Amino acid sequence: MNEVTYALLNRHGSPQVCTHQEWHHWFDHGGEDQMKIRRSTVNDWEIDVWFQGNSIAQDGPHLFWEVTANHPSDCPFLQRCGTREEALQLYDALVAQGAK
């Protein structure tokens, strides 16, 4: 069974590992509003970067960042990333290619 690691975004926008209870308090008191990092719509694709605040990764970095691309008539895309920078690079690439 995989253990879940939780994190909240600290005042610098960096993940800070915490307990589930601390994460839940953060989420309920404004954290939810901080989770959507970036959004664009290109060629009917909605492309987003989210801070998920949880990760089940056992080896390597915690995958707190999620990039999604959704289209009304195509298969969705979802990838978790280990850093905000990695997620934003993937987001920029999807936007540049129109999420094809």
36 phi-psi bin (left φ>0, alpha ψ -120 to 50, beta other): beta
Determine the pLDDT at residue 100: 65
Distance CA 62, CA 15 (A): 10
Contacts of residue 92, defined as CB under 8 A and 6 or more positions apart, other chains included, come to: none
3-state SS, residue 98: coil
3-state SS, residue 70: strand
The widest CA-to-CA distance across the chain, in whole angstroms, is 40
Instruction: Walk along the chain (100 residues) and give the pLDDT tens digit of each residue.
Output: 568 999 999 989 899 999 999 999 999 999 989 999 999 999 999 999 999 999 988 777 899 999 999 998 888 899 999 999 999 999 999 999 886 6
